[in-house]
Chain A
Amino acid sequence: MSSKPRVAFFDFACCEGCQLAVLRLGETLFELLEHVEVVNWREVMTGASDDYDIAFCEGSIRWQKDIERIQKIRETADILVSLGTCATIGCHNAIRNDWPLDTLRQTVYGDPTFPAGIITARPITAVVDVDYQTLGCPVSAPEFVKVFKAILTRQKYDPPNSPVCVECKLNDYPCVYEKNQVCLGPLTRCGCNAICTRYGDACRGCRGLVDGANLEGAVRALGADGAGRHPIMERVISAHGLSEADILEMFGTYNTWPKAERKDYQYED
């Protein structure tokens, strides 16, 4: 009988890319696995045990039955970790909350009366308490390692609380704004080591809002408060033929759930 902590991985509504990001750790994963016994991980092993100490949960909650399942996991695990943006702040799944339920049923199931326990899509963190949070779409593999080590050494882990700009600059990447592109880096929590700007893309905000993000300043920069746009945003917007709505939509890709801060859910079946 092993005395190592037993680890399980679970997924809810998601692409399971976070689990793949963990698998892609390669040798580091084997080093981490020295300290634990994996007892449940559908994506990589046959057999499954319902007796585990640490649960990593990926994905969003979007059915009534998901709530029951995550509550069961919460009861079983000593330590529950939300894995990635879907599980922590809702991610793409929450975009559907902006659509009428009938339209969703028609589009997805071809039947506007499709019966199901469909509820407002929400992150795991909105349903149960979690002990550790990891962010990213997919989760940042180096951050996963940090969290894993923190769990094993019984330490707290706080996600970094600086905008992506910090990691972007420390890597000496030219500012995305200088390339006349919209970037959500100034508002988004870092911890990804600016991987998107490294490859020439802009930050799309997958790690969610940084604490104390200056949203009022962003609204003013976009000119959405009627005060006139900021010159740099004017330049960015005109260079790409974008509208404020386009930018807000880009912002909403990952941040729809926290934007609304829904306490009462829009629909429940």
Chain B
Amino acid sequence: MQPQKHILAFDDLPILLRQWLRSKAVIGPLARQDQPGFYYFDWIDPADADVERLAERLASGYVTTTIPPKKAFFPTRETLFNFAAAGPVVPKNEEHQEPFLLIGVHPCDLAALSLLDTAYAHPPADGPWRKRRSPATVVGIDCLPDQYCFCTSMETSGSRDACDLFLTPITSGFLAEIYSEKGKDLLRGIRTEPAQPRDIQEGEEFLHKKEAAITLSLQAGSEEFAEILDTVDLTEVWEQTAQRCYSCGSCNTTCPTCFCFDVEDTLDTNLTSGRRYRSWGSCQLLEFTLLAGGANTRGERRQRVAHRWYRKFLYLYKQFGHSFCTGCGRCSRACTADINIVDVSNDLIKRAKEKR
């Protein structure tokens, strides 16, 4: 869809934010008070929201968060249902969800939301995801890359997937691209000017400048990389990477497209009722594939390391036609052993080419 493009004055963003906070629950990037320079997505309290600060943060291209905004739709831990020792189990996952607004989402994370929409819609569709996702509105914003970003290689640097409204800071204000009725509604009550060709050009320049600042790149396209993983014996790379890897799960727990979860039951202290909840899983953990009886299908670290690449770049590519990596760089940034997903991927690609 061709978006309508408008110019939103810088001074009007705080006014809009106030308006949004009055009408809906809003989740957006907050600055850590305890650790300056770090950000996290969380619900914004309308009572003490500093909207000027928030607008400034959005305009200046805040640094990426530790964990991605998918947590708005897939909380790190959520109750699936309550149960009692006597009586039927009452599922909770279809209950009504109030619409909310997710703001400040960078293009790579928009692409990730779209990939998760696809994966979680695949039968059997995920109820809790759909429940939160359908009534929500998403506002994207353009960003500045850090040393770990490689979104250009994954073709997500200019992604507008899954968003209703997208903002790019340019000289005359924000270039506001409207992608849905919900997005249009967000600008109601504010006077915006239609964007002029020079504004649109400036928006494109912002994107080009961002892309030029990205230093990392994959040496193969998604299709070629999938084919390499599918056909070449790359054991030595998995072994070398596994020697360094701590199996700490930081790559999975910070990934915007990982969708595995763990399910656990807990009893209340009365010992007669309890809850089943799910929390984010990680295929890098020793117990991820631990089966009843003690067998473990990926008990070796190199098997788990390899699985991450196969999963992101081969299995899901085959299933959905896209790599399940958006180049956000969070896994490389979070890796406690300094394993960079681009370096390892390029090593795989290089060796595969040598072997042929």
Contacts and interface: CB of A to CB of B under 8 A. Distances in A.
| A, B from the same assembly | yes
B267 A153 contact: yes
A174 B246 contact: no
B249 interface: yes
Interface string A212-248: 1110111011000000001110000000000000000
Contacts of A175: 66, 250, 333-334, 336
A153 B272 CA distance: 10
A166 interface: yes
Interface in B229-272: 243-250, 253-254, 266-267, 269-271
Nearest to B249: A166
B65 A162 contact: no
Nearest to A163: B248
Contact of A214 (B253, B269, B279, B301): B301
Contact of A35 (B248, B271, B285): B271
B50 interface: no
A213 B286 CA distance: 10
Interface stretch (B32-40, B94-102, B182-190): B32-40
A208 to B, nearest CB: 15
B75 to A, nearest CB: 10
Output the residue of B32, B244, B245 with the most chain A CB within 10 A: B244
B337 interface: yes
B341 interface: no
Contact of B35 (A179, A186, A211, A230): A179
B35 A200 contact: yes
B280 A186 contact: no
B308 to A, nearest CB: 15
B345 interface: no
B338 interface: yes
A35 B243 CA distance: 48
B253 A31 contact: no
Interface string B289-313: 0000000000001000000000000
Q: Interface majority SS on A: helix, strand, loop or mixed?
A: helix
A238 to B, nearest CB: 15
B248 A186 contact: yes
B270 A217 contact: no
A185 B248 contact: yes
Q: Interface majority SS on B: helix, strand, loop or mixed?
A: loop
A28 B286 CA distance: 32
Contacts of B243: 214, 216-217, 220
B76 interface: yes
Contacts of B247: 163, 212, 214
B38 A170 contact: no
A200 B249 contact: no
Interface in A189-203: 200
Contacts, number: 117
A169 B301 contact: no
A253 B41 CA distance: 35
Nearest to A174: B38
Contacts of B250: 165-166, 169, 175, 186
B40 A214 contact: no
Contact of B248 (A166, A178, A230): A166
A187 interface: yes
Nearest to B75: A170
Given A169-B250, A175-B250, A162 B66 contact: no
A217 B247 CA distance: 11
B182 to A, nearest CB: 27
B270 A31 contact: yes
B337 A200 contact: no
B282 A166 contact: yes
Contact of A162 (B38, B67, B77, B249): B249
Contacts of A178: 38, 333
A148 to B, nearest CB: 9
Contacts of A166: 248-250, 253, 282, 285
A152 B104 CA distance: 48
B338 A187 contact: no
B45 interface: no
A152 to B, nearest CB: 6
Nearest to B40: A172
Contacts of B269: 28, 31-32, 34, 145, 149
Nearest to A217: B244
A217 B246 contact: yes
B223 interface: no
A267 interface: no
B77 A174 contact: no
Nearest to A164: B248
Nearest to A232: B338
Contacts of A28: 269
A177 interface: yes
B249 A149 contact: no
10 contacts: A31-B269, A146-B266, A161-B287, A166-B285, A171-B76, A175-B336, A178-B38, A186-B246, A186-B248, A232-B336
Interface of A: 28, 31-32, 34-35, 145-146, 149, 152-153, 161-163, 165-166, 169-175, 177-179, 183, 185-187, 200, 210-214, 216-218, 220-221, 230-232
4 interchain residue pairs of minimum CB distance: A165-B248, A169-B253, A186-B246, A31-B269
